[in-house]
Amino acid sequence: MMSYGNGMTMVEKIFAARVEQDRLSPGDLVNVKVDLALGNDITAPVAIKEFKRFGLDRVFDPEKIVLVPDHFTPNKDIAAAEQALVLRRFAEDYGLKYYFEVGRMGIEHALLPEQGLVRPGMIIIGADSHTCTYGAIGAFATGVGSTDLAAAMASGEAWFKVPPTIRFEYSGHLPEWVSGKDLILLTIGDIGVDGARYRAMEFAGTAIDTLPMDGRLTMANMAIEAGGKCGYMQPDQITFDYLEGRVAQAYTSVYSDQDAVYEKRYTYDVSNLEPQVAFPPSPDNVYPVSEAKGVKLDQVVIGSCTNGRIDDLRAAASVIRGRKIKKGLRLLVIPATQQIYRQAMDEGLLADFIDAEAAVSTPTCGPCLGGHMGILARGERALATTNRNFVGRMGHPESEVFLSSPAVAAASAVAGTIVHPGEVLS
């Protein structure tokens, strides 16, 4: 049901400020300057090829373009090496400030917030669908095509149709072992993979008020799995604490008006929520973990731009510490950035995983998109903390991928079947 009022949502206000209008409404078309344009080793080479057709000798701003080789890196084959070389040469030729080479890189959507490149009120585009992650910090951020990225690298501009906003309110406090991943899986399971198509998803409520930044980034990351144009939380003290020491530039936080117009509202009481598991072949095929119990696994993956942050590794390590993974099962742990890798090492988390007989990888998207570092064979079944589980997503079309939080993934690696973390720890 439409919520009637006279105010604007956060996204509408961000756009209105850029085009110097007092008011914008859903459906309005705007052409705006972008604050950041992002590409990776799969999408940026196409954008670079198109950019060079313009015959320009400079980009619009060498400090507002970010290139991160993270999908097929470290290079998995000659083709991957050639793709990465295109990024490296372009960054050198055009003097880009933010090119993150292997060894100082990370998975792009974990790396940019960590490096202080994301601030409230920004407009960010990326040639990767999970660019919506940055809405957790109060920015408008969305994925675009490679040709849109090429145009933005040349002009610094992009056009949008102002999206309607759906408000999701989560009341109550999260039970033990329930995280941001479970909230977003619950939501996608409820509204479907197209339930927020070209909508902004505003996440709010008492459960969000206390959700750590890593959990918020997870939720915003998977807005696209519901078809969302973007997903966001309005900035609060948790946001400001995260930004302190990371962001030197001044920023202005933007908030939805009390009487903002929402296309729909959804309310969830999460006080008794179980951890959630998405069954194949879609992120909206969601069940409580109690209904997934006993699903036998061949591989578990903990990582990705969704759940490879330090809180994710801590949660997984707290379950697996002092235990071994099930014989015949493979556990892959992939810290999302070099900084997270180092922090996990300093805290002893990597030792916990290695002692459990897991394989720990350098930061990479790797198995999430069926790239490398953990491809599934015919008939194999994986549980992953990644964001998608479509047919063939992680390997053979006859393999299967289930999605969960890091805590459930770690517990399931020990048990060999999908299980609640409490059952492993009891």
DSSP string, 113-125: HHTT---TT-EEE
Closest CA to 263 of 220, 186, 202, 206: 202
Q: In whole angstroms, how far apart are CA 19 and each of 13, 159, 173, 257?
A: 10, 11, 39, 19
Question: Is 5 a residue whose pLDDT tops 90?
Answer: no
Alpha helices in 299-405 (DSSP H): 304-307, 310-320, 338-346, 349-355
pLDDT band at 1 (very low <50, low <70, confident <90, very high): very low
Percent of the chain residues past pLDDT 90, beyond the cut: 98
The dihedral sign for the CA sequence 105, 229, 145, 389: positive
Structure tokens at 288: 């409580």
**110-126 CB burial, b ≥16 within 10 A, e <16:** bbbbbbebbbbbbbbbb
What lies within 8 Å, CB to CB, of 342 at 6+ separation is: none
**What distance in Å separates the CA atoms of residue 191 and residue 217, rounded to the nearest whole number?**
20
Question: Is 4 a residue whose pLDDT tops 70?
Answer: no
**DSSP 8-class letter at 222:** G
Alpha helices in 156-212 (DSSP H): 180-191, 206-209
**DSSP 8-class letter at 244:** T
Question: Which amino acid makes up residue 200?
Answer: A
Predicted local distance difference test score (pLDDT) of residue 6 = 78
CA 70 to chain centre: 14
Superfamily of domain 10-267: Aconitase, domain 3 (3.30.499.10)
CATH topology for the 276-421 domain? Aconitase; domain 3 (3.30.499)
Burial of residue 21, with CB atoms counted within 10 A of its CB: 0-12 exposed, 13-18 middle, 19 or more buried: exposed
Domain ranges in the chain with CATH number 3.30.499.10 = 10-267, 276-421
Which of helix, strand or coil describes residue 372? coil
Average pLDDT over residues 22-45: 97
Alpha helices in 107-205 (DSSP H): 108-114, 146-155, 180-191
**What distance in Å separates the CA atoms of residue 279 and residue 46, rounded to the nearest whole number?**
33
What lies within 8 Å, CB to CB, of 103 at 6+ separation is: 338
| Greatest distance between any 2 Cα atoms in the chain | 65
Across the beta sheet with 400-403, the strand order is 286-288, 276-278, 400-403, 381-384, 299-302, 330-333, 359-360
Average pLDDT over residues 3-10: 78
Beta-sheet pairing, 400-403 with 381-384: parallel
Helix count and strand count (H, E) for the chain: 15, 18
Q: With residue 40 as reference, give the H or E element that holds it.
A: strand 36-40
Structure tokens at 339: 């900084």
**DSSP 8-class letter at 296:** B
What lies within 8 Å, CB to CB, of 215 at 6+ separation is: 179, 180, 181, 183, 311
Mean pLDDT of the chain: 97
Residue with tokens 């020491």, as numbered in its chain: 245
**What distance in Å separates the CA atoms of residue 16 and residue 148, rounded to the nearest whole number?**
21
Predicted local distance difference test score (pLDDT) of residue 114 = 98
What lies within 8 Å, CB to CB, of 78 at 6+ separation is: none
pLDDT per residue as tens digits for the range 158-175: 999 999 999 999 999 999
Predicted local distance difference test score (pLDDT) of residue 3 = 45
What lies within 8 Å, CB to CB, of 141 at 6+ separation is: 118, 122, 123, 124, 125, 126, 131, 132, 133, 134, 135, 220, 230
Average pLDDT over residues 122-139: 98
Question: Is 2 a residue whose pLDDT tops 60?
Answer: no
pLDDT per residue as tens digits for the range 244-279: 999 999 999 999 999 999 999 999 999 999 999 999
pLDDT per residue as tens digits for the range 295-308: 999 999 999 999 99
